[in-house]
Each structure stands twice: as structure tokens, then as C-alpha cells.
Amino acid sequence: MITETAEKIRSMEIRGAGRIARSAAAALRDYAAEIETPDLEGFVSGMERAAEMLLETRPTAVSLPNAIHTVMASLAGSQTVKDARERITRSANEFILGSEQAVDRIAAIGARHIREGDTVLTHCNSEAALGCILEAARSGKEFEVFATEVRPRNQGLLTIHVLNDAGVRTNYIVDSAVRSFMNDVDLVVVGADAVTVNGAVVNKIGTSQIALAAHEARTPFMVAAETYKFAPRTLLGELIAMEERDSGEVLPRELQADLPLVRVRNPAFDVTPAEYVDLIVTEKGAIPPQMAYIIIRDYLGWGLEEFNREFVSRRGEPE
């Protein structure tokens, strides 16, 4: 079960930061139910191995470690295998439900920023971003969407199917056409794989170029992100690892073989600095990117005490 979920995340059969997080929580819960061991120590080390395997699948979406750490933290203080199993189940179910509710809440808040007659541009296939667009459509507003293709994995195809099914008029464009249309766009809405303490947003490759074009055209740039996409460890100066996927996704390996001097690069994500982001819509409300630390402190529990504890555990006590 764990290996199956891990493989689905790695191969992107399960993709998108929120879905990845929920499927990891569900995999831990299901694994906890099936581990056969009479002693607590064996149970805990089995769960730790499973958590490790899931963590290794994809490096960028912070929702994945945040979900796994939330579920695994519930093991602390458990007395018996039965108790530990129940804690994992409860915590995983709470995480999954909380995540689904967060996406709904973000949709309700984000939809208010889409006005009648607007043209909205989105990139990739984000449940949170699309939630805002779909909610605006459900509330009866008439507007139009531009959706990018999203090379090389073409997640834009998923997006245009969803929009079409929801009755939203949509323009499908190649990624490089964004700037040509930006003057017609009233609002950009994207999701996030991670938000750092200084409000930078990590999302699908191409997002930062879109943000630049939006900035130039003075088009508002809105990010839809659940609080578990915020990255507490960036407080310690930790950088978000940027996944680079197989080059065969960009150019078939057989074609690459004829081009010995060409190195095909395939970064999957990029970083949009806070200065290009106008608003981050979370389930706790909409914030300017400069308020990212408040989310990390108030909702992810990383205040001064936690920061100091973690800092000292890495560097040792100060002299």
C-alpha cells in the first residue's frame, strides 16, 4: 500500500500539492491498520519507514512533509499498538477532512476576487486555484478564463476539461503566449506547492514568468494556498528543494541520443518572489505575502520557542 502510493506520487498519477498530502495521510492510516506487530517499538519503526518512503517521492510540495509530520506526531505518548493505530487513524482522518474543508473555504474567499466580466488566467492544475474559479462560476458570475498548456506534462489539459465541464468559457494557450494576452487579463490565480516565510511562492515551472508579465501589466496576482503549504523550516534559512524531473519528459530520449552536446533540462517548479504576489488566499483568510510568518507562527505552531529549540538542536547551544 505504501509502496503503491509512493509510486503513484513519484510517477504523478497522484499530483498537485493538496492531493499528494491527502493521499500520503491516507496511506499512513491504511498502513497503520495493516502492520502486524505485537510491540509498540516495531509499530513505530514500521511507521517511520513508511513515512520516510513517502517523503522521498517528490521534494518540492511542502504539504507532503507537513501532512506526514502532522500524522506521525500523533504517535507521541501512545502506550500500546492499538492506541498508536487509533491515533494515526484519527490524525490522518482529521488532516484529510481539514484539507478538504480548507480547499472549500479558499474557494469561497477567492471567488469574491473574481468579478463579473473578468478575464482570469490560471497556470497548471491547482485544486485550490480552480476552486476559486469554479465557485465564482457557481455563484452565477459570467467571466472568461485563459488556461496555459503547462509543458512538459500538460496539466493544462486537466484544467480545461474541468472548466469546460463547469460551463466556463476558456481560452487554451501555449505557455509562451502568456505575455501576449496579459493586457486582456484582470486577475491571475495560481496554486502553490510551498510558501516561504518571506512570502515567496513555489509553484509549477513558468509561474514566476507569468508573475513578471502580470507585474509589468499591473495585473493582480493571487495565490490560493492552504496553510499546510507554508514552510516553517524556511524560518531557519532552509531552502525549498526544486524538483528536476527526467529530461525524457521534455524531449524523448531517442532524440536526445542524436544530440550529444545538448543537455535537456526539466525543472518542475520555480520561485515567485513576494514582490510579485498581491494576495495569498488561505482558509484562514486572505493575506499579503508579507504576512506569511503569521500563518507559520499562528497556525503551524512555529513561534520563537520552537524556532530557538530547532535552531539549537541544529547548531548546538550558543557559547
CB of 126 or CB of 227, closer to ligand RUB: 126
Per-residue DSSP letter, 244: B
Q: Least Å distance between CB 243 and ligand RUB? A: 8
Contact 196, 295 (CB under 8 A): no
Measured between alpha carbons, how far is 93 from 124 in angstroms, rounded to an integer?
Answer: 28
CB of 131 or CB of 232, closer to ligand RUB: 131
What is the DSSP pairing of strand 187-190 with strand 194-195? unpaired
The residue sitting closest to ligand RUB, measured at its beta carbon, is 191
Counted residue by residue, the chain has a size of 319
CB of 148 or CB of 155, closer to ligand RUB: 155
Which amino acid is residue 258, in one-letter code?
D
Q: Least Å distance between CB 124 and ligand RUB? A: 4
Task: Give the CA distances from residue 253 to residues 155, 214, 231, 260, in Å, rounded to whole numbers and listed in that order.
Answer: 21, 35, 35, 11
Residue 63 CA, chain-centre distance (Å), reads 6
The set of catalytic residues is 124, 193
CB of 44 or CB of 156, closer to ligand RUB: 156
Interface with ligand RUB by CB under 6 A: which residues? Answer: 15-19, 61, 124, 126-129, 155, 191-193, 203-204, 268
Q: Which residues contact 158 (CB under 8 A, 6 or more apart)?
A: 125
Q: Least Å distance between CB 268 and ligand RUB? A: 5
CB of 28 or CB of 61, closer to ligand RUB: 61
Q: Least Å distance between CB 207 and ligand RUB? A: 7
Q: Least Å distance between CB 211 and ligand RUB? A: 13
What are phi and psi for residue 187, nearest 5 degrees?
Answer: -160, 135
Q: Which residues contact 100 (CB under 8 A, 6 or more apart)?
A: 22
Measured between alpha carbons, how far is 150 from 19 in angstroms, rounded to an integer?
Answer: 18
